[in-house]
Chains A and B, each alone.
Chain A
Amino acid sequence: MTVPDILFAISAVAVALLSLCVVLARNPVRSTLLLILSFLPISLVYVLMQASFVAILQVMVYAGAIMMLFTFVIMMINPAPHAGEIPGEEPGAEPSRKSDVLWFALLALLGLVLIVPVRYAAVRMVAQPVTKPDFGGVQSMAQLIFTHPDHNPLTVSFELISILILVGVIAAVNFGRRQAHPTSGSATQANQLKDGNP
């Protein structure tokens, strides 16, 4: 066990635990804050993988900017007047706990089972430290994206990502947007979606 190994183990466990907390927290604000917290060990993993530029971006952009937006939005729409209550879900409409427990048990079993092949793989793969100068730095990233396509293949992907982001914005704006003019027509009941209710 070297020092990087120990650091990796610590941050990996921290990421897993914090992510679990994000999901399990009943208060959205708390969830968001926990998510920000979980980004820090992730950026530590990036550093360990010699990707220092990505690590810095992770903290600056995600933890710094995007998650702040999240928090603002959540605070603006103020979704949880009473702590511990999820908006839009009526207290009586809890899904059956029994089946959930069964599913979780099954998943946990699967996770245990999955460890075997992953462990098996890890033994056979020998990690080699990257010897390229400036690996993970700003310059090499820029080269990867912007220089001539004969040398590297990411130019088109990079442009496509910009379209993807644009589409994401449009999609987000329009997701379930209320109409300007209400129209005739009846809405079907949401809880009829399940099978068996024709």
Chain B
Amino acid sequence: MNSGLSWTLLALPVVPAASALVLALCGGALLKKNLYNVVGGLATLAAGISFVLALFLIPAGLLGTGTSVTLDLGSWIATESFYAGLKLNADSVGTLMVLLVTFFGFLITGYSVGYMRNDREQGRFFASLNLFVASMLVLVLADNLVLIFLGWEGVGLCSYLLIGHYWNERGKDQDVPLAAFRAFFVNRIGDLLFLLGVFFLFAAFGTISLSELSARAASPHGFGVMFAGREWMAVLAAFLLLGGAFAKSAQAPLHVWLADAMAGPTPVSALIHAATMVTAGIYLVMRLDWLFLAVPQARFLIAVCALVTLVVGAFMALTQNDIKKILAYSTLSNLALMFLALAAGSSRAAMLHLFGHAFFKALLFLSAGSVIFSAHHEQDARKLGGVLKSLPVTRAAFWIGCIGGAGLIPYLSAGFFTKEAVLESVREATFNGFGLGVSGHVLYWIVLGVESLSALYLFRLLGYLNGESREKTAQVTDHSAHHGAHGAHDHAHDHHAPHESSPAIRLVLIVLSVAAPLFAWLSGTPKLTAWVTGGLGEWEPMQWAHVAPFLVLNIVLAGVTYVVFSAVSRREAVLSALGSLRWGGRGPLDRKFWFDDLYAAVIVLPLKVIAWVLRLVVENVFIGLLHLAGLIGRGASRLLRRQQTGYAHHYAAAILLFLTAAAWILLWRRG
């Protein structure tokens, strides 16, 4: 039943979890002895072991004949009507996700060794990072929704911990704790919806095992038998689960936390808020594709929300000056692309873009991290003019990332074929629901247009970083000010000329710079695409005629933007020309499309009102009742203590009294 390979599934999350435990318990002691590299090294080793183990899954999980690797560890929660097993399952989708998580987990943990090397709280950081990898692996390997929920909560917790990593150091001016809390709170809303969704799914189908659910969906009786008068429950479950997925994957209206989450260290943004965790919602929808295929309204909702997110993300990315915020908003719109593919019913396209996005976005974030690290945690792109010129490796990586993200060159851009696949799937689908119907063609052109903005914002960023610097002198003072602000560490740095800092950072950047084009080439090769998407769908021949306008438009946009923004004078001329469009700081872009105001009105205000009412009631009624109960309790307690005389014969008498009383009760009941 459980072969040797099956136990790999257990080892996958257990190794990083054990490392997390060790680091949490002994990390502080190791750091006290200045064993900084041991802490990071152990974490990297654990993630690396997981990655190597994941490689062993490839033959059976991915290349096998539709079979999957499973490990059944018996029951976890078992009652008469409810069963949740400790069962792990790696089918093709699961294996892909495992590979993704462990590959990026390994690389980025290694990167962090360099990035975090002067941080005094590394123990906590690496413990959380390892715990994240373990939780994420549980999430993607779990065979039932309760176990998925365990991983789901685990990654949420780690995300919270890591966003708040700089809670005391740099947090004061950046509101780090608030950012972490916002991320946690929004995710809690999603978790609640997810859990309710699981309940309703269980009520509708009587099982929460993914394999059982999809086996039933595939049975010839189909949904008619499955739903059996409980269709509304299944539909409700689909919507609720969607809520959970939206919160985790930052889709409107639950997207507001992702930009704030950039308060965490940059490797965290790369791993959790770009490559892996934010794709959990997409993974969930992919896992339950049979449900969403049967509920067209849900797919319509996905399409609407994804479209909103796409637009919001792309436009917000245009206006940001913080490097990480630009990338964060770009992540939003890319996640929206994946959801659009899911709405179109193409898990294959979603999976493909999930991978492509992971590659180019991780590369972008890590290069940005290298820039930020070299520039002493300066994140404002305007102040970092020309910084890339002194960082050759980072520059190359940034270029490859931007080309990949904007999808400029086929077979070199990680995002080219994947976006194309999404667009194709959207074009061929129709979206119906709530009495509305939208043709895929309409959507196709909208998405194509909005997506072209990615070339704009990415090359605008590149123009800043690789172009002229505005004021050399201002830059220097800025740096020394920042340098003084955060700590006595990092003395070795030369303030005047940022340079490549850590071999770990450089090594990871080089690996990813090679891996991303490699993936791009893979994604454009039919056979290999089928392999990459794990048999999620048939390969569709590339429609070069459709691709051409996309390609040309993007190249032109990217070129023009780069030229404009790489020179200070041109940049400022364009910005002042555009300034008149900003509605005096109250336009949609400055107010983040009013989503924060929406939250204040819909969630914060009602909560405050409820809290106020409850406080009134509690203070006046419940506290009084409590005092009364306390008085009664004290009186009774005193009475009880009276009979505790300490004399044995009194005790014996009480026993006889009770027995006689019991005898009489029983005799009385007979009569």
Contact = CB atoms under 8 A, between A and B. Distances in A.
A103 interface: yes
A194 B648 CA distance: 12
Given A193-B646, A194-B644, A196-B641, A103 B653 contact: yes
B647 A113 contact: no
B230 interface: no
Interface string A78-100: 00000000000000000100011
B645 interface: yes
Interface in A154-198: 193-196
Contact of B645 (A114, A117, A194): A194
A187 B663 CA distance: 43
Interface in A97-114: 99-100, 103, 106-107, 110, 113-114
Interface in B601-650: 641, 644-647, 649-650
B660 interface: yes
Say whether chain B's binding surface is mostly helix, strand, loop, or mixed: helix
Nearest to B646: A194
Contacts of A99: 645, 650
A117 B657 CA distance: 15
B667 interface: yes
Given A107-B656, A194-B645, A117 B667 contact: yes
A22 to B, nearest CB: 15
Given A117-B663, A117-B667, A106 B641 contact: no
Contacts of B664: 113, 117
B653 A107 contact: yes
A103 B667 contact: no
B660 A106 contact: no
Among A103, A113, A193, A194, residue most surrounded by chain B Cβ atoms (within 10 Å): A103
A114 B649 contact: no
Contacts of B663: 114, 117
Among A95, A110, A195, residue most surrounded by chain B Cβ atoms (within 10 Å): A195
B657 A106 contact: yes
A106 B647 contact: no
Nearest to B661: A110
A110 B650 contact: no
A196 B644 CA distance: 9
Contacts of B667: 117
A8 B647 CA distance: 35
Interface string A99-133: 11001001100100110010000000000000000
Contacts of B644: 194-195
Contact of A113 (B645, B646, B650, B660): B660
Contacts of A103: 649-650, 653
B652 to A, nearest CB: 9
A193 B645 CA distance: 9
Contacts of A194: 644-646
A4 B654 CA distance: 36
Interface of B: 641, 644-647, 649-650, 653, 656-657, 660, 663-664, 667
Interface of A: 95, 99-100, 103, 106-107, 110, 113-114, 117, 193-196
9 contacts: A99-B645, A103-B650, A106-B657, A107-B653, A107-B656, A110-B660, A117-B663, A194-B646, A196-B641
Given A103-B650, A113-B660, A114-B660, 7 more contacts: A95-B647, A107-B653, A107-B656, A110-B657, A117-B663, A117-B667, A195-B646
The 6 A-B residue pairs with the shortest CB-CB distance in the complex, in nearest-first order: A194-B646, A195-B641, A195-B644, A103-B653, A110-B660, A193-B646
